[in-house]
Structures are given as C-alpha cells and as structure tokens.
Amino acid sequence: MDQDIFNACFVRATDLGPEGGRTWAIKDTIDIAGYPTQSGSRAFAEAPAAGEHAAVVHSILTAGGRIVGKTTLHELAFGMTGINDWAGTAPNPAFPDLVPGGSSSGSAAAVAAGLVDFGLGTDTGGSVRMPAAHCGLFGLKPTHGRISRKGVAPAESSLDCVGPLAATMDGLITAMTMMDPTFRPEHPSSGVLRLGLPEVEANPVILAAIGRVLAASGAETTVVSLPSLEDAFAAGLTVINAENWRAFGAFADSGLLGPDVEARLKRAASTTPDALAEAEAIRARFTDEVDTALAGVDALALPTLPGFPMTVAEARAGKTDLRASLLIRPFNLSGHPALVLPLPPAGGKPVSLQLVGRKGGEAALCALGQRLATPLGL
C-alpha cells in the first residue's frame, strides 16, 4: 500500500472487521464507535469519540466488511472540489491534475487508488456522484430514506443519502448488499432497453460520448421533459443552505472554518422562510415531473456533469462552480435513486453517465447499469 496516498485519503486508520473481509473507506461524517467524527473541520477537532456505530456501519460489519479508515472530505460536506487544507486534500488517482470532487473525495480517491474495495460517502447535492464522476468510478445515490442516516452528520437532512462508490458495477452491487440487508440484486434484462433522455445543456463532447454509448447499447430512446430541472437545481441549493445553516451556523464567525465554507455558510444565513417555502413547492412539482418522465421508460439517462472537472490549480486559485452540480443536485431534491457510470475518457478527461430510476428501484437501476457497463469492460 502506498502510505503517502493512504495518508492523503484517510484522516485516521481503523481496524474493524474480519481479516480477509471486503475493505471499506468511511467518510468522516459517519460515526464509527471509538473514533471522533470531525466532518473534515477544525470546528470538530475536539469532538469526542462516537459511542456507537452509525446504522450503515453496523450493517457493513455485520455483512463481514472490514473498515480500514475514515476519509477526508470537503469541509462539513459543504463543497464540491474536495480541497481541504485542515483535514487534507485527497488526490485524484485517475486524473491527477483534476480535483477529486466533493464532498466524498477521500472515499472516492481511496477506491480509485486501489486502497479499498469500496468507499462509503454521503450525497446531499451530488457528493457521491460527483467524486465518482471525477475519479472514474461507479457511484450510487439511493432513494432518499432507503439507507438509514442514524449516526450521520448533520443529523437532520431532507436531501442527504448514504451511498457507495466502487471501481466496477459488480462491486457497487456487492457494496449495496452489504449496506442494505433489504437489497436484492436483479439480473440484467435481455429485453428492449428503454431510456428517457432529458433535454439538458452540457459540453458537446460529453453529450456525443454518451450518445455513442447509448447507440451501441441498442436502447430505444425517447426525449422526455423535465421543465423544472433548473428550478430544482436552485431549490436544492436553497434547501441545503437552510439545513446547513441550522446545523452549522453557530460556527460562521468562529474562525474555525476554511474561508470557502465560511463564506458559503454566511451566504446561507440569508435564506428566508419564503424562499424555503418556494423551494418546497418546486420539490413537489419536480418530483411529479420525474415520476411522469419515468412512466414509460426503464430509466432516465443524462450526463453526470455538464462539463469537465476543474483543475487543482484552478481550485487553489479560488475558482468555484456550483453549477457543476446542475444535473445531479435536482435528484436530491426529488429523492429518486441515481447511478453514475464512468465512460471512456475524452481528451484525457473523465466522462460519466447518470441513470435515474424509480423510487425504491435501486436493484433494477443497478441491473441496467450492469447491462450498459459490460460491453465497455467495466
């Protein structure tokens, strides 16, 4: 094991589970008994050790998993680059010049570096799917509420989901069976594959790459309408701002936060009750639109990212791009499961396909992912 890469991905090593068990990296917003949960922030530097495992950690250990460490992340899970000057910034092993993606950056990097079989992250506005896309991995945001968030920070969230990262589709399915005792894998169908294609704005190179993969799959595609997608993106930001202000607002002027997170948290303080009420109305409307779009197809297919990830140098220079989550954040608002698959790179940069399924339909969505990934050797 490369100790330098391990140290960059992990905030601390653990030794839990049987020798020979499938290995896991756990994001440091998720409780492991006997270890503090610091959420990548100096604000929690003196946090006491957790008294019990998070529910999902208990499930993994019960399934024979071996947990090797807690991973770094974008501070307070409130950012998308993974840059963290207090807890440490994980590399992007697949694309070293690019940021690893946030906020579950350490868990993704550990999988991409081959340090562990699986990574465990959380996804409030794309924070599993984005680092998966950046690092050339498979990632899944389950249906909201399917995986217990007991023992996950922040304690209350109407958007956040615990989800796995893996280097292969088969691995991702194995990870889900360990996380969720109710998950029953399905065999890929050999029937006609029907995919709905929302009309979205994205880099033409990315759209062309996805189009080639879908054409080669033989899928029947239908253009579907999600007229509130842009509104849902904005509403998702409103909700996360309101909920993170409630969770972390006390630290806004403490001097304990990194400058990017402190600035974002202070902006979140201005979220009004009227804005939050409007966001909830958009949530209901967009959820109905997604359900309607899914009615005649097996899944929706669209890019994970609208463009290519920024470089580490750009992020270090202060570049931000919340719109990088334009195509992923809306499905946190609606609560639908979303799976991302790495496609062959374009010009040395990552390309990722996102599949969105019916609520509770993770098994069918993963079987669809297997069907698309197999011809690509993934």
Catalytic residues: 27, 103, 127
- Strand order across the beta sheet in which 23-27 lies: 10-16, 66-71, 23-27, 118-123, 161-166, 138-141, 338-346, 349-356, 299-303, 194-198, 220-224
278, 235 Cβ separation under 8 angstroms: yes
Cβ partners under 8 Å of residue 121, min gap 6: 27, 73, 103, 104, 107, 108, 127, 128, 131, 139, 162, 163, 164, 165
For residue 39, give the nearest of 251, 324, 206, 199 by alpha carbon.
Answer: 251
For residue 25, give the nearest of 11, 45, 39 by alpha carbon.
Answer: 11
Cβ partners under 8 Å of residue 309, min gap 6: 95, 98, 99, 101, 133, 134, 324, 349, 350
